[in-house]
Amino acid sequence: MHKLAESLSPIERTVLPLIKRNPSLKELVKSGLKEIEIIRAFQWLENKGLIKTKKEDREFVDLDSNGREALTKGLPEKRFLKCILNEDLPLKEIKSRCNLDDNEVNVAFGTLKRNSCIILGEKIKITPSGKEYLNNSRIEDFLKELPEEKTKLNKDILQELKSRRLMIKDNLVRDIIVKLTDSGEKISRLNLNTDMIESLNINVLRNKAWKNKKFRRYDIKINVPKVYPGKKHFVNEALDYAKRIWLEMGFKEMKGNIIQPAFWNMDALFVPQDHPARDEQDTFYLDGKLKSLPKIASKIREAHENGGNTGSKGWGYNWNEDEAKRLLLRTHTSVLSAQTLSILKNSDLPGKYFSVGKCFRNETLDYSHLFEFNQTEGMVIDENANLRHLMGYLREFANKMGFPKVRFRPAYFPYTEPSMEGDVYDPVRGKWIEFIGAGIFRPEVVKPLLGKDVPVLAWGPGIDRIITSAYQIKDIRELYKNDLKQLREAKLWLK
């Protein structure tokens, strides 16, 4: 208990002894403390379990404009009576001498007549009841108490003043009622020293101000209100982290548009024009077409129709230029690899490139598939590159993303040979999940774009599944729910 007492801040040590009578916030403000200081002390003391607070709406009565004037100049009926205390006067002269306006005269006249304080005639005369009324200060005393809680005021006087115009008004005030807990009771009975040293600095040491004084004890385990600062969406944090991994491994970033012609998205990657992946059931096509194809389109045509100079027989069909001009939402970031290969020079080789970006596929939505997803693309162009190097790059990336268990298996893709898929073990779901498609670009892809056949390692892992595992999300659709609770509580992406 003493340790807790020594950890209290100066304002807490000041406020705590004042709470013995279960006061309200408004009552404590009358002690001379600032309201904001008291509220802050309430929060800290409640976090420490020393007090309990309760918010209450309370009705208060306050002075209105005529009420304030009555306190400074006097009540109209009292001013009326003072004028006729020593001599009887006609109404007109009373009004002039006492500086009463028509409204004040009406109020005074009605009140005095009702209370038998005056006798009417050519001249108005004060009665014994009037003299008694003049010496009675109950209404003035009532007005001086304001503002005050309605339940604490005299009901008869309150009703009387309510019948008068602009004398008093009601205010609804939200107040805080505070009560000591058992622990608070015990600590409030201690001698709470308010003269403690809050922080150690050079002046305290130089002047030896620490002698015969105590330092305030700081409780680093105390519960404090949660703070939800602005921060990046956890998906964006993970994407930035993936970018950093590739940059740290010496890769250069590739960038490009989400809307692409089928030429770059499919044809340049040796995907035949009758391939199921090009159906509208799998790809989001847009209205409009590319006006013209790049110069290398003739080489791409040859690769598709007969293999060109690649040593391949191609696909053996008549390549359709209009099909290649169709616009679509890119289905993979490999489109950027194709575009990058087409502009590289011999001086750029060997080279390592990556991209991180959105892709779109006309998928059936379920817990593991989205029609909008993030992918990281990578490729290495090197005369000496081989499949073992490819697996090394992918294993390193997976490990840095937080997946120590990685496995590879053979696969088929139209634009790579050999091809493989990589899986990582997801401890949340307790099973292996598909992580990446990869391989070495076929000569039918590389030679038309680069001008020569060089080993090009290529891969394109989907990051969204990695993110769901890291955040223990079992349904991939939750990544885009924008659930405020989820966004607030999501941990920072630190690996």
Q: Report pLDDT digits (tens) over 396-406.
A: 999 998 889 99
pLDDT-derived band at 440, boundaries 50, 70, 90: very high
210 in a structural domain: no
229 in a structural domain: no
Cβ contact 265:330 at 8 Å? yes
Instruction: Give mean pLDDT, residues 269-289.
Output: 86
Q: What is the pLDDT of residues 100-144, one digit of tens each?
A: 888 888 888 899 999 999 999 889 999 999 999 999 999 999 999
381 in a structural domain: yes
22 in a structural domain: yes
The answer to which of 45-54, 93-102, 486-495 has the lowest mean pLDDT is 486-495
| Helices 128-135 + 76-83 axis angle, to 10 | 130
The answer to which of 202-206, 269-273, 284-288, 292-296 has the lowest mean pLDDT is 202-206
Neighbouring-strand partners of residue 259: 329
Co-location of 379 and 430 in the same domain:
yes
Co-location of 124 and 243 in the same domain:
no
Q: Is the pLDDT of residue 491 over 90?
A: no
Co-location of 163 and 175 in the same domain:
no
DSSP codes of every residue in 270-307: T--TT-GGGSTTTS-EEEEE-S---TTHHHHHHHHHT-
Cβ contact 404:259 at 8 Å? no
CATH of the domain at 366: 3.30.930.10
How many domains does the chain divide into?
A: 3
CA gap 379, 445 in Å, rounded: 13
Instruction: Give mean pLDDT, residues 402-416.
Output: 92
Quick one: which of 440, 437, 304 has its CA closest to 382? Answer: 440
CA gap 204, 200 in Å, rounded: 6
179 in a structural domain: yes
Co-location of 382 and 471 in the same domain:
yes
The answer to which of 163-172, 315-324, 403-412 has the lowest mean pLDDT is 163-172
Q: Is the pLDDT of residue 392 over 80?
A: yes
Q: Is the pLDDT of residue 408 over 90?
A: yes
More reliable by pLDDT, 212 or 90: 90
SS3 content of the chain, % helix, strand, coil (to 5): 40, 20, 40
Q: Is the pLDDT of residue 430 over 90?
A: no
Co-location of 51 and 72 in the same domain:
no
More reliable by pLDDT, 227 or 383: 383
More reliable by pLDDT, 218 or 371: 371
Quick one: which H or E segment has residue 258?
none
pLDDT-derived band at 281, boundaries 50, 70, 90: low
Residue whose structure tokens are 């000569």 = 443
Q: Is the pLDDT of residue 409 over 90?
A: yes
Q: Which domain holds residue 276?
A: 236-489
pLDDT-derived band at 326, boundaries 50, 70, 90: very high
Name the average pLDDT for the chain: 88
28 in a structural domain: yes
Cβ contact 219:321 at 8 Å? no
Co-location of 319 and 399 in the same domain:
yes
Co-location of 77 and 187 in the same domain:
no
Single-letter amino acid, residue 223? N
Domain boundary among 117, 150, 170: 170
Q: Is the pLDDT of residue 356 over 90?
A: yes
313 in a structural domain: yes
Co-location of 93 and 176 in the same domain:
no
Percent of the chain with pLDDT over 70: 98
Q: What local confidence, expressed as pLDDT, does residue 346 receive? A: 92
Q: What local confidence, expressed as pLDDT, does residue 495 receive? A: 59
Co-location of 185 and 266 in the same domain:
no
Q: What is the pLDDT of residues 451-482, one digit of tens each?
A: 999 999 999 888 888 888 888 888 888 888 88
Co-location of 347 and 364 in the same domain:
yes
CATH of the domain at 162: 1.10.10.10
Cβ contact 424:435 at 8 Å? yes
Instruction: Give mean pLDDT, residues 35-54.
Output: 88
Q: What local confidence, expressed as pLDDT, does residue 353 receive? A: 97
For residue 363, give the DSSP letter.
P
CA gap 495, 479 in Å, rounded: 19
Q: What local confidence, expressed as pLDDT, does residue 429 receive? A: 76
215 in a structural domain: no
H-helix segments, 327-410: 334-343, 387-400
Q: Is the pLDDT of residue 194 over 70?
A: no
Co-location of 359 and 420 in the same domain:
yes
Three-class SS state of 209: coil
Domain boundary among 150, 183, 200: 200
| Tokens (6 digits) for 169 | 């008004």
More reliable by pLDDT, 208 or 68: 68
Three-class SS state of 58: strand
Q: What local confidence, expressed as pLDDT, does residue 484 receive? A: 87
Co-location of 256 and 382 in the same domain:
yes
Single-letter amino acid, residue 140? E
Q: What is the pLDDT of residues 300-313, one digit of tens each?
A: 999 999 999 999 99
